Amino acid sequence: MRSLVAFLLLTAPALAETYQPIKDRSAFVDIITRHELRIGLYNLSLTISPKGKITGSALGWEITGDWTWQDGYFCRDMDWSGTPIPYNCQLVEAKGRDKLRFTTDKGAGESAAFDLR
């Protein structure tokens, strides 16, 4: 019994730090409001407005786009300085209040994790 208690105490923080799916638009908007999404490696920063606009930059080039929330997924269409980024619906997951992960193709594709600033 003592080993079970020790296991639960040691794993509880790890479980609390896992990504949790966001399926509700209002929960997503609550998280993104007043935050910038960043990936330092690419000098990538995005602002996602509650009104459906995306602005930002990556590697010094402008990013623009639009987004909607459809059936529990973040669906966006973007442009990176003249290069279209095709429409895609993505699974969004949060890790606490400071990280968001987006996974393309409704969770079946590639992922990108952002810091919220």
pLDDT at position 17: 72
pLDDT reading at 15 higher than 70:
no
Mean pLDDT to the nearest integer, 74-81: 98
> pLDDT class for 16, splitting at 50, 70, 90?
low
43: which 2 tokens? 């000098």
CATH of domain 20-116: 2.40.128
Distance from chain centroid for Cα 69: 13
For the entire predicted model, the pTM comes to: 0.84
Can you list the positions of beta strands (E) in 2-117?
A: 20-22, 37-39, 44-48, 53-58, 61-70, 73-80, 83-95, 99-103, 111-116
